Amino acid sequence: MIFSNEAVREAVQLFATAHPDKMPHGQVRRVWTSPDPDLCLHVQIEKIGGRDLHEIRFGQDKIAAFLILFCRKNKIPLPRSAEKFLEIENGCLSLVITKRIMALTPARP
């Protein structure tokens, strides 16, 4: 699944609203990714009542939490037991989901 920057920004804002104890209070203004050395997400938050912008950097675990919450809120099904990892695809954040499906072989007569 490929997420636009707008969708990622919305995902971060959803997480901040759902978990106010885990994020600074304010409006998410801008998000962008950087791949070096590990993929991370930079978030600019404007504090309520002020014009100060604070930049926070999140690692892959937190990014995955943002995107999974976004999918749940938008009724996008994700298999729980599937492997999930993040990539940057054409400048956009991508959540890659892989699930092994066991194929049953037909019984021999």
- Find all residues with CB under 8 Å of 4, minimum gap 6, and list them: 92
49 neighbors 27 (Cβ within 8 angstroms): no
Q: List strand residue ranges (DSSP E) for the chain, in order.
A: 2-3, 27-34, 40-46, 53-58, 83-89, 92-98
User: What is the pLDDT confidence band of residue 107, given thresholds at 50, 70 and 90?
Assistant: low
Distances (CA, A) of 45 to 48, 65, 74, 85, 92: 9, 18, 23, 25, 20
pLDDT tens, 60-69? Answer: 999 999 999 9
Domain limits of the chain? Answer: 2-98
**Higher pLDDT among residues 37 and 109, named by residue:** 37
